[in-house]
Amino acid sequence: MRVIDDAGEQLGIMPTEEALARARTAGLDLIEISPTAQPPVCKIGDYGKLKYEQSKKDKEGRKKHKQFELKEVKLRPKIETHDYETKARMAERLLLDGSKVKVTIMFRGREITYTSFGKRLLDRMSEDMAPLAIVEREPRLEGRNMFMILAPRAVPAGPPKFMSVKTKEQTSAKDSDPSGNSKASEGDGDGQSPASPPVQRVRSHSEQEDAQAQTQVP
């Protein structure tokens, strides 16, 4: 196996027993960090400390991994300018908070014969949200509703049009539609990033034999 000391220096390729002896002399463990390499790579170090650092790194990675939520903003085809701006500010807050936004136009009665009004309204919304979002799903008609889906940009292309830029902490507390609109979650499973591959301490032949003896049935 190829051995690295606790300072990160290459010690070269050596037999397992010799590497274990070096680790014992230093009062440390021999840790297998790359078992699939040819030859396998081991490091002399503190096994408990390495496990703690790895778990801490995995925990930080899960915190940074963002789970997208799909939230809905509903409009009517004949919405007034003031009401439209209120809905646009709501969409901006959701996008700044990292959520996807489903913008829905609801048609009632004979309004369904004027779907072009709804299409123009969705085009207006996508244009107003352009600094913060991209159109993930183009406008489409389903039943008596027309909708599109906006996804937040990784890096905003400009400031929001209808509200000042706020931090996530300032906006996350008021990111729901007061009219009781529904929301659905989207994401990759549980929203957690994959954990780093585990490391394990290399045991000598005598330690392995002791472990096997303890597991035998008398």
pLDDT in tens, 75-98: 999 999 999 999 999 999 999 988
Q: Please report, for the domain that includes residue 27, its CATH number.
A: 3.10.20.80
Secondary structure of residue 119 in the 3-state scheme: helix
Output the pLDDT for position 172.
Answer: 47
Q: Please report, for the domain that includes residue 75, its CATH number.
A: 3.30.110.10
pLDDT in tens, 5-46: 888 888 888 888 888 888 888 888 888 888 888 888 998 888
179 lies in the same domain as 129 = yes
Range of the domain at 172: 69-185
Q: Is residue 217 part of a domain?
A: no
Q: Which residue has the higher pLDDT, 26 or 211?
A: 26
Q: Which of 12-16, 102-106, 146-150, 207-211 has the lowest mean pLDDT?
A: 207-211
39 lies in the same domain as 121 = no
Q: Phi and psi dihedrals of 8, rounded to 5?
A: 90, 5
Q: Is residue 135 part of a domain?
A: yes
- 113 Cβ partners below 8 Å, 6+ apart? none
Task: For residues 73 and 87, give the distance between their C-alpha atoms in angstroms, rounded to a whole number.
Answer: 7
Q: Into how many domains does the chain fold?
A: 2
**Rounded-to-5 percentages of helix, strand, coil across the chain:** 40, 25, 35
